[in-house]
Amino acid sequence: MTESSVCRVCEGTVRAFLDLGRQPLSDAFPREGETDGEFFYRLVVGACADCSMVQLLEEVPRERMFREDYPYYSSGSSVMREHFAETAKDLVYTELTGGDPFIVELGCNDGIMLETVRAAGIRHLGFEPSSGVARVARDKGVRVVTEFFEESTAKAVRAEDGPADVIYSANTFCHIPYVASVLRGADALLGPDGVFVFEDPYLGDIVEKTSFDQIYDEHFFLFSATSVKAMAERFGFELVDVRRLPVHGGEVRYTLARAGRRVPSRAVGELLAAERDDGLHEPATLAGFAAAVARVRDDLVALLRELRDGGHRVVAYGATAKSATVANYCGIGPDLVAYVCDTTPAKQHRLTPGTHIPVRPAHVFQDAYPDYALLFAWNHSQEIMAKEQGFREAGGRWIQYVPDVRVV
């Protein structure tokens, strides 16, 4: 694959290594009869030869992705509710300890993290451009602005509220192609000893698990410690801590501080060394990942066709953003999967992006168990399987495809 583009971090050359084909907006669920105007783009992934950043070659306009009717609500998962409550408490006790601390969150969604901060009486502000979920956060008493975080908006906050002790982001910073504006904004808004803390899907986990469905329109960057360190240094920051997280199929929480203000933790050096030893950014490693993705596609489609031809009823569980990549790359439509069940009301009675599989409420799954269930929401497998024990007891079997295709 010889296609290339310009790195959004250092302006080096980004060389493509994986083409996942024509893809729709991952979180745009059309109604029946309203599919003619769907937006599609090419989902191609490349790596920068200079700074090692892995990124998409084609950018989807942010206004298309983060709309008023954006359907993802972080509070829908009990695991994520617990994760963000613990994250908030950790920040309160470690970073927000001054006389009048102030925290800003990028992409606060429905206020799942900031509501704990608010309850602690700490000044806060959430940036959430999707007005629907922003309203939910406001209803919880969280202070929110319906804007994108960038240099200009960060300077406006600094002028009104003063410096921030923490800028926090979860599953948001990797969405933003215009990193230069965000990091200049962080520089303008943070106090001298402030930190920028963000957690996003980890390239190392994606490669190790062949979890290619972590790649979709919203995930413009796939971060690693190596690429984040290089990115931080270009904007006067330093990578001072990393923490591996089990959520969302494997993430890393990165902490950036102004250069020279903190001593980097041992964990930073250890993760950098592990990435180097594993050859994470080597072209051969990324080519091997691309080959593994193609094998998963072929094995999954073969299995679904075999089950269909054998008269078995197959449905899917979890109309996730990630599942758009899998379904469209593999060509999985209603001929192979009867419907997808999901707990999110905004997705129900609609169609999956691109492949137009009907989305049904979660109770439909229990009303008449299928023979097999394709687990699109694999990153919540423990939570889902504990909830759906009746499916297994009725003889149902789960189909998983991370790290490989198997029936359990």
Query: What does the CA dihedral 128, 132, 134, 135 come to, rounded to 10 degrees?
Result: 160
**Mean pLDDT, range 312-316, rounded to an integer:** 98
What is the Cα–Cα distance from 256 to 198, expressed in whole angstroms? 9
Contact 337, 373 (CB under 8 A): no
pLDDT at 236 over 90: yes
For 284-331, where are the E strands, in sequence order?
314-317
Task: For residue 38, give the DSSP letter.
Answer: -
Which residue type occupies 323? S
For 243-285, write each residue's pLDDT tens digit: 999 998 899 999 999 999 999 999 999 999 999 999 999 999 9
Q: Which of 225, 211, 242, 185 is nearest to 323 (CA)?
A: 211
**Mean pLDDT, range 308-314, rounded to an integer:** 98
Q: Band of the pLDDT at 74, cuts 50, 70, 90?
A: confident
Tokens of 271: 């993760």
Task: For residue 388, give the DSSP letter.
Answer: T
What is the Cα–Cα distance from 42 to 217, expressed in whole angstroms? 9
Q: In this structure, is the dihedral angle defined by the CA atoms of residues 29, 30, 32 and 37, taken in order, positive or negative?
A: negative
**pLDDT for res 248:** 85
**pLDDT for res 67:** 59
For 178-196, write each residue's pLDDT tens digit: 999 999 999 999 999 999 9
Q: Band of the pLDDT at 77, cuts 50, 70, 90?
A: confident
Q: Band of the pLDDT at 62, cuts 50, 70, 90?
A: confident
**pLDDT for res 72:** 60
Angle in degrees, CA 84, 56, 133, rounded to 5 = 35
Domains of the chain: 4-56 (no CATH), 74-259 (3.40.50.150), 284-407 (3.40.50.720)
Strands lying side by side in the sheet with 251-258: 144-145, 123-127, 102-106, 164-170, 190-201, 251-258, 237-245
Share of the chain above pLDDT 70, in %: 97
Strands 397-400 and 314-317 turn out to be unpaired
Tokens of 227: 């690429």
Contact 252, 243 (CB under 8 A): yes
Contact 221, 171 (CB under 8 A): no
pLDDT at 2 over 80: no
Tokens of 90: 């950790």
**Mean pLDDT, range 307-325, rounded to an integer:** 97
Of 10-14, 60-64, 269-273, least confident by mean pLDDT is 60-64
Q: Band of the pLDDT at 4, cuts 50, 70, 90?
A: very high
**pLDDT for res 1:** 59
Tokens of 348: 């129900």
**pLDDT for res 79:** 83
**pLDDT for res 63:** 75
